[in-house]
Each structure stands twice: as structure tokens, then as C-alpha cells.
Amino acid sequence: MELRAKVSAALKQAMKDKAADRLSTLRLINAAIKDKDIAARAEGNEDGVGDGEVLAILGKMSKQRAESARAYEEGGRLDLAERETAEIAVIEEFLPRQLSDAEAEKAVSDAVAEIGADSIRDMGKVMALLKSRYTGQMDFGTVGPKVKARLS
């Protein structure tokens, strides 16, 4: 089942269960996907966005909420931090399992070997390959420095 359908099914179930917090988060996810669809249609892509783009949207939403939760904790607003953490849990239900550090290292090594990268100039090619294969499964903010270290 594609991600869009999973989100819609979860939204309907949350309505039936009268789970207000979960419903709110699912509506935010749906709205973000629809915003991207509208932008894609404006660029001429009538089908909207695919699962890869939806994964990127979900990853971004999860990361934003993690940063907000950290800021709320530092500011002493634990109630808001808990709310953000609850939203992260709902968002991550639709994301694939995150790769462990060892798996991420292996993915980087495999990508470098597959491309035949030997200098920092090849970093863009390696990152593009990783993003095409592991969108939603790894944090590219932490993988970038690993690739850079490997190619330096």
C-alpha cells in the first residue's frame, strides 16, 4: 500500500477512534502532502508527488518536531515538548526503519565503491545515490560528513 493510502486509512481510523491528537497530526501530514502536490502540478507534474517525495516530507516533519521538542525542553516547557514528541511518534509510523550506524557506514562504503569515488569532487554523486536508495532511512545531515571523511 502506498504511503498516501496508509495516511488516509490512518486518518479515517483516528476519526472513528476519536483520537484528537493523532487526528491533528495526521491532518498536518495530509496537508503537507497536498501542498507538495499542488506545487508539483504547478511545475507540470499532473500526478503529484510520489512515495519518495512523501518520505522526504515525513522525514522533514519529524526533524522539525525533534528540534522544537529540544527547544521546548530547554525553555522549560515540558508540556509542549511532550506534544511534539507524540507527533513524532505518529509521523514515524509511516517512515521506514532507520538504518543503524553500522548499516549507514556500510551503505556509504557500498556507494563509494559502486561509483568508484576517489576524491571530494565525487561527493555529490555519492550523496545522490544514497538519497535515491535510502530516503527516509538515514539522516543525510549526519551521513554527509561521513562521506566527506571517506573521500578526503
pLDDT at 9: 93
**pLDDT at residue 144 above 90?**
no
As a whole number, mean pLDDT of residues 8-22 equals: 93
As a whole number, mean pLDDT of residues 84-111 equals: 87
φ/ψ of 59, rounded to 5, equals -60, -40
pLDDT at 83: 94
**Cα 124 to Cα 12: distance, rounded to the nearest angstrom:** 41
Helix, strand, coil percent values for the chain (each to nearest 5): 80, 0, 20
Q: How confident is the model at residue 46 (pLDDT cuts 50, 70, 90)?
A: confident
Ordered structural domains, the chain, with CATH: 3-92 (1.10.1510.10), 101-151 (1.10.10.410)
Q: What's the pTM?
A: 0.73
